[in-house]
Structure 1
Amino acid sequence: MKKSLLAIPLALALLSGSMSSATAAEDRKNKVVVDGAALENTTPLILNGRSFVPFRALAEALDVTVTWNDKERTVNAISDDVMLELTIGSKQALTNQGNFDLDAAPMIKNGKTYIPLRFFAETFDAKVTWDPENQSIYMTTPPAAMAVIGFYTLGDAQTSSWTDLFTMDYPGTGIGNTDLVSELALGWYSMDEEGNLLPNNPYYWNRPADWESVLGAAGDYRMKTEMTIHLPEKDPTLLTLLTDEQVKSQAITQIVKEVELYDGVNLDLEGLGLGQSEEQIVKTQSQFTRFVSDLSEQLRSNNKSLTLTLHAPNSVYKGYDYKSLGGVADQIIIMAYDYTDPKSQQPEPLNKVEQAVELAKAVVPAEKLVLAINLWKEDEETIQDKIAIAKRHHLKGIALWRLGLVQNDWNGIRQQIKKRY
């Protein structure tokens, strides 16, 4: 917390950058917009050039714990190592960093307690911008501690996962972006119709000849590794895997043997439920959940984790029972994309991504959910919009599809996510 920021009047500066598409379609008048989403039933008060906001709504948006002392008429707020006390009618603010003079005192109006916005927000490291045309306030919360999973594939000279991660050409290593990435989903495996694990994916996720050096470098920079098993939509192997007990048993045996080299398994089995009747979907969900449960049991007995990379609940692929799967998997990556033409470069619509998160969160604990971002379609600004959704819903983290495509967009990620070290 910087003392020089604490008593600055609200600047009448124009909002920089383009508006988030999450709020562009709604009325922008008299709003408090936090990380791209307007706070419901919250209208700022503008008095003598100062902005006031209901303290409870603001505190919740900043994930700050607040209490109200009716006898002393004080507001107390605590977050991490910051403590703040404000008193109704007093221009004196008390913090664990010292005492500060306010330009305006907190007040009670229409039964609500209003506090000076800029002082409160910047005390907790949020950034505030004023939009004078619409009399609205835009706030960006500080970087959050979140997991970042990077899908690691072979790529090519222009989209090298190695170079994107370490910011050095192979085999050189450096901190690079490993201070953000906590886990690698190593997309190197597939399966055949007999349940045999294939180390060279017949589609486009091939295991490099020097793959063991990737595991070694991941260990050096304290990144977890998961072997990713990928079967795309319409691959006949998946149907056999779910319906043939012998094939399923063979697959689980081989996965458990191979996972000794990794921290866990990431299953990316795609296309389930497309075009099926409701009865068929229920059956498919049950078959997939049973396979996942059997695999999870074996992995846990070997102290290995299980991640599921799943189509979003609001996609056309309905063969995934999120509630049941959330009970057996350690984490679920929501593929909240492909809502638009896969060949287009149009960013994924925020309303669909938010809906996907809300549907998943309704049946799976937020701390198990990870939001996947398809970097083929996003830029630095729209990536931040997606991360903001994960922050607002207190998800475990984000997943980047894929390393090699982030490149200059790391700057936007760093503005939203706290470094690991």
Structure 2
Amino acid sequence: MNKILRLTFLMLFTIVVLTEGTNTPSFAQERTISIVVDGLPLNFDVPPIIKDGRTLVPFRAVSEALNVPVSWDEKSRTVTASDGITRILLRIGDKTAYRNNAPVALDVPPMIMNGRTLIPLRFFSEAFGCNVEWDNASYTVRIVSPRRKMAVIGFYALGDSRTSSWTNLFGKPYPEHSKGNTDAISELALGWYSLDKGGNLLTQSNTGWQRPAGWEDVLKVASLYNLRTEMVIHATDSSGDITELLSSKEAMEKLAEAIAEESKLYSGVNLDLEGLGLNESGENLLKTRQNFTSFVRILSEKLDPSKTLTLTLHAPNSAYKGYDYKTLGAIADRIIIMAYDYGSSPELVDKVLQAIEMAKAEVPPEKLMLGISIPRETAQSLLTKIGIAKRYNLSGIALWRLGLITKDQWEVLRKAVEPVNYQNGN
């Protein structure tokens, strides 16, 4: 009998040990929740949690990603957020929130955890027009922010029958036209000009940039669809022509005069002089920067005040350091950051973010535009690049180039951006 009791006790003890070993506390079994806004992951000092089937997140991280100002009232323990159109109010422990003073029932109330206020993610995001999806396989919440009004520049350059800027934009072969994709663009950067070291403005170049036959039709039809136009002067310094030009005050004056005269046909000027500052340092680099800045200042002074001056520049984290962003930003109306050609497709998000951070440290964001190389992006990565421009409150995006934008990419543009309508003044 004692032997049977001992065996029974041993079996019970074994069952208890095994059972305790498998009953891991529930919080230890929870997976990490990821939050992605426009393809960009959010970082939290307090991780998101799931409570009663609803995701709660620290409100400041999400509000900052969506550029929605928020405030916290300690006395009433309330969170208030407003983008100027929508205003919401949530109170800790209260299952009733308010959107523009109208009550909204919540499944889970806001709460405080580890000194951070957590709010229901879906309610907050959808209140401000976002699309929210839950991916159970990856434990990820994917948020797509609402359309943002901004300038959208499309570079218009010569192509062939397959990559025609005209057909891609106006939807029909030249010279026919329709609305096409003009609803997704607000401006055209017309890549029709170049220069030589003597300060001559050229309509033909050895890099393929040239003014096509029938160019007047482009201006006429662009006007029909309310598109602004800027003349682009493009050159690279591979042969040293730009450096030589910039070393001559006479040549710079001559070129600036020619550009100012030609700009009467356009809404503005886009200066795209590439390749400055490669392998330069010290006094040589300083001189290159000063010379380029001098030319931009001369050009700015000669342009009619009604004409905009846009600079298309290598990114500050590129190999080309010949551009003084701070001084140029004070002279020009806008700077397009060419945040591409980092060696990968799609372009590395970290590199693009670094480029914007560096530029934004020198130039106000309302003067900056994100340049995007369309051939190096997919539809999904294009959404992410647009999301970066939104998150940093840039004035817009510039797309290289028309003729290469796919149907899927056009749809992404339409869903993510509301192009500025200059004719209506908004």
TM-score by length of 1: 0.87
- In structure 2, the partner of 1:272 is 276
Correspondent of 1:340 among 339, 343, 351: 343
Query: What is the percentage of aligned positions where both structures have the same residue?
Result: 51
CA gap 1:420/1:259 in 2 versus in 1, 3 angstroms: closer
Q: What is the SS of the residue equivalent to 2:295?
A: helix
2:99 corresponds to which of 82, 91, 95: 95
* 8 Å Cα contact 1:285/1:320 also seen in 2: yes
Q: State which drifts further: 410-419 or 222-231.
A: 410-419
Aligned to 2:381: 382
Measured against aligned partners, the alpha-carbon deviations of 1:221-244 in whole angstroms (never above 9, x if no partner) come to 221111100112313321222011
Q: SS in structure 2 opposite 1:376?
A: helix
SS in 1 for 2:152: strand
1:330 to 330, 333, 350: 333
| Alignment map for 1:402-421 (pairs within 5 Å) | 402-408=401-407, 409-420=409-420
Equivalence map 1:179-198=2 (5 Å): 179-198=183-202
Q: What's the counterpart of residue 294 of structure 1?
A: 298
Q: Residue 362 of structure 1 aligns with which residue?
A: 361
The counterpart of 1:32, out of the listed 5, 17, 35, is 35
Q: Shift of the alpha carbon at 1:116?
A: 0.9
User: How far did residue 107 of structure 1 move?
Assistant: 1.8
Matches within 5 A, 1:69-84: 69-84=73-88
SS in 1 for 2:149: coil
- SS for the counterpart of 1:257 is helix
1:209 aligns to what?
213
Whichever residue aligns with residue 413 of structure 1, its letter is L
Q: What is the Cα deviation at residue 256 of structure 1?
A: 0.7
For residues 29 and 362 of structure 1, what CA distance do their matches in structure 2 show? Answer: 34
Code of the aligned partner of 2:321: K
Matches within 5 A, 1:102-141: 102-133=106-137, 135-141=139-145
* Equivalent in the alignment of 1:7: none
Distance of 1:275 and 1:59 partners within structure 2: 42
Determine if contact 1:309/1:332 at 8 Å carries over to the other structure.
yes
Q: Which moved more, 1:203-212 or 1:285-294?
A: 203-212
Q: Is the 8 A contact 1:336 1:372 kept in 2?
A: yes
Work out whether residues 314 and 338 of structure 2, in 8 Å CA contact, stay in contact via their aligned partners in 1.
yes
8 Å Cα contact 1:186/1:226 also seen in 2: yes
Are 2:314 and 1:305 equivalent residues in the alignment?
no
Counterpart CA distance in 2 for 1:213 and 1:54 is 54
For each residue in 1:199-256, what CA deviation from the matched residue of structure 2 results, as whole angstroms up to 9, or x when unmatched? 2233212211111111112222221111100112313321222011111111111111
Q: Name the counterpart of 1:15.
A: none
What is the aligned length? Answer: 389
1:145 aligns with 2:144: no
CA 1:106/1:295 → structure 2, altered by over 3 Å: closer, same or farther?
same
Is the CA contact (8 Å cut-off) linking 2:44 and 2:58 kept in structure 1? Answer: no
Quote the residue 2:13 is aligned against: none
For the pair 1:220 / 2:224, whether they are aligned, the reply is yes
CA distance in 1, matches of 2:310, 2:111: 49
Q: Quick one: which amino acid aligns to residue 123 of structure 1?
A: A
Q: Which amino acid aligns with 2:417?
A: I
Larger Rg: 1 or 2? 2
> Contact between 2:293 and 2:328, CA under 8 Å: does it hold in 1?
yes
What value does the CA root-mean-square deviation take over the aligned residues?
Answer: 1.9
User: 1:177 Cα deviation (Å)?
Assistant: 1.9
**CA distance in structure 2 between the partners assigned to 1:290 and 1:310 by the alignment:** 15
**Aligned partners of 1:166 and 1:173 also within 8 Å:** yes
Deviations 1:110-167 (A, max 9, x none): 3222211111111111122334455443322112112111000121111111111122
Question: TM-score, normalised on structure 2?
Answer: 0.87
Q: Which amino acid in structure 2 is aligned with residue 379 of structure 1?
A: T
Q: Which moved more, 1:104-113 or 1:363-372?
A: 104-113
Q: Is the aligned partner of 1:59 residue 2:58?
A: no
Shift of 1:276: 1.8
Equivalent residue number for residue 317 of structure 2: 314
Q: Secondary structure at the residue paired with 1:240?
A: helix
CA distance in 1 between partners of 2:60 and 2:400 (Å): 37
Instruction: Label 1:81 to 1:277 Cα distance change in 2 as closer, same or farther (>3 A).
Output: closer
How far does the alpha carbon of each residue in 1:362-401 deviate from its partner, in whole angstroms, 9 at most, with x for none?
A: 1111111111111222221221222122122111111110
Q: 1: distance between equivalents of 2:216 and 2:149?
A: 29
Distance 1:350 1:58 in 2: 19
Task: Report how far residue 187 of structure 1 moved.
Answer: 0.3
Richer in helix (by share): 2
Residue 353 (structure 1) aligns with = 352
Q: Please report how far the alpha carbon of residue 283 of structure 1 lies from its aligned counterpart in structure 2 after TM superposition.
A: 0.8
Q: Do the aligned partners of residues 267 and 420 (structure 1) sit closer, same or farther apart at CA in structure 2, a change above 3 Å counting?
A: closer
Task: State the 1:68 CA deviation.
Answer: 2.6
Cα 1:173–1:420 shift into 2, 3 Å? farther
- Letter of the 2:416 partner, please give it: Q
Q: Distance in 2 between matches of 1:381 and 1:105?
A: 34
SS in structure 2 at match of 1:418: strand
Gaps of 5+ in 1: 1-27
| Cα shift readout 1:390-414 (whole Å, capped 9, x = no counterpart) | 1221111111100000032211222
3-state SS, counterpart of residue 179 of structure 1: helix
Segments of structure 2 that go 5 or more residues without pairing to the other structure are: 1-30, 422-426
Superposition deviation, residue 86 in structure 1: 1.8
Contact 1:372 1:401 in 2 (8 A): yes
Equivalent of 1:233 in 207, 231, 237: 237
